[in-house]
Structure formats: structure tokens, C-alpha cells
Amino acid sequence: MEFLLAPQLALSFLAAAVLLTLAPGPDNLLVLALGMARGSRAGVAFGLGCALGCLNHTLLAALGVSALIAASPFWFNLLRWLGGAYLLWLGWQALRSSGVALLRPLADAEARPWQLFRRGLLANALNPKVVLFFLAFLPQFVTPGPWASYQIVQLGLLFTLQGALIFSLIGASAGRLGASLQRHPRWALWLDRLTGLLFIGLGLRLLVA
């Protein structure tokens, strides 16, 4: 049926999506840093948030809103400023941490994984570069016609699923590495500082891009 993706197109898209997700970028760097600083559960939670944030861009691309944002300097810059300011705020929160809090098990703060999931969701949803990426990338694998929007939604879901898997693996692996470092308070403090600097650097890069 025309509204379904052709198998060969779906496989080609999946291969390209995996390579793009694995390539060093803001999302997987942040997942890696948070996993090392706060443990596997935190890294996985933030990674899942980043992945599910792609559903927002999928919906915008399917509705054509992404094209309007890309064509309007005001809305594009507003989204860029909001995204940059949000990353700066996250970085400042990490820099203010004493490092001691990182040594507490995540089970001691039940809301923490959900908060990190929400932060990953917002960090991805407020990134205008991802808006442009989805606008440029997804249509390359769509068959022109009345079912194009449905195919874009399917591609976005496929991208989200593979992103969730890869980000979860990165977060879990980083958490194991960070766990051995966090046995010492000094390492815990510096891991938080490095995470904060990474957030701030990415926020500034987004603001001046």
C-alpha cells in the first residue's frame, strides 16, 4: 500500500539513521557525559528523552511547520535562543553542584530519572538544527504523493526507535565507567564540572550559530 514505506527505502533510511546517530554530536555527547556523571539510569533517562524529542520534529515535518520555521528568521531565532538558554541553565545547575549529590544512589531520588528524561526531551525539541535536519533528511526517503506525510511519520518513528536504543546503550555504558570514577568525591565533583561545561559550551554554540 502506498502509505507504507517500501522495505528497501526503510532499510536504507535505517542504515543512514544509525550512522548519523552514532556520529559525534550534541545529543550523544550529553548522554555520554550525564551517564558518566550520574550513572546508567540517568544516562539512559536523558537519552530516551533526546530520542523521543524527535517525535516533535517528526510531527512538525509532517505538518509542514518545519518549513515555516526555517523560512521565518523570527521563529527560527526564537527557538534557537530558547534552546541555547535552556542548555546554559542546565550547565549552570551542574556547575553549582557540590559533587557529593552524585554519590547518592539514584533510587534515593525517585524524580531524578524523570527530570533528566524531561530535560533531554526539551533539549532536543528546542534545537532548531534538528528541525532543519528533519526537514532536509526525511523527505529524501519519501515517495512523492498524497501519502507523503504518513511516510514521514513512519520515518520519524523509525528514527526515534533506533535513537532510543543507541542512546540507551551509550548511557548505560557510560554509567558503568562513571561508577568506578565516582567512588572518589573528587572525581564526582570534576565529572559534574565537565558535564556543566559541556552543556554551557553547546548552549553558547547554539546561540552564536
Report which of 128, 112, 109, 113 is spatially closest to residue 53, judged by C-alpha positions.
128
Q: Model pTM greater than 0.85?
A: no
**End-to-end CA separation in angstroms for the chain:** 42
Burial of 81 (0-12, 13-18, 19+ CB in 10 A): middle
pLDDT band at 174 (very low <50, low <70, confident <90, very high): confident
15 C-beta neighbours (distance < 10 Å), count: 11
pLDDT mean over 158-187: 80
* Amino acid in the structure at residue 75: W
Report which of 123, 92, 108 is spatially closest to residue 26, judged by C-alpha positions.
123
| pLDDT reported for residue 175 | 79
| pLDDT reported for residue 168 | 93
- Written as nine digits, the cell of 198 is 559541556
Burial of 38 (0-12, 13-18, 19+ CB in 10 A): buried
Tens digits of per-residue pLDDT, 178-206? Answer: 666 656 556 656 666 776 777 788 678 76
Q: Is the pLDDT of residue 161 over 90?
A: yes
| pLDDT reported for residue 167 | 94
Positive or negative, the CA dihedral 35, 39, 41, 42 is negative
Percentage above 90 pLDDT, the chain: 11
| pLDDT reported for residue 188 | 59
Tens digits of per-residue pLDDT, 109-160? Answer: 443 788 889 888 988 887 777 777 777 777 777 776 666 778 888 888 999 9
Tens digits of per-residue pLDDT, 20-36? Answer: 788 767 788 788 888 88
* Rounded distance between C-alpha atoms, residue 64 and residue 106, angstroms: 40
Q: Are 43 and 31 in contact (CB under 8 A)?
A: yes
| pLDDT reported for residue 102 | 40
Query: Which is more confidently placed, 48 or 135?
Result: 48
* Rounded distance between C-alpha atoms, residue 128 and residue 83, angstroms: 8
| 114-148 CB burial, b ≥16 within 10 A, e <16 | eebbebbbbbbbbbbebbbbbbebbeebbeeeebb
* Rounded distance between C-alpha atoms, residue 36 and residue 187, angstroms: 10
Tens digits of per-residue pLDDT, 84-94? Answer: 787 787 778 76
Query: Which is more confidently placed, 165 or 62?
Result: 165
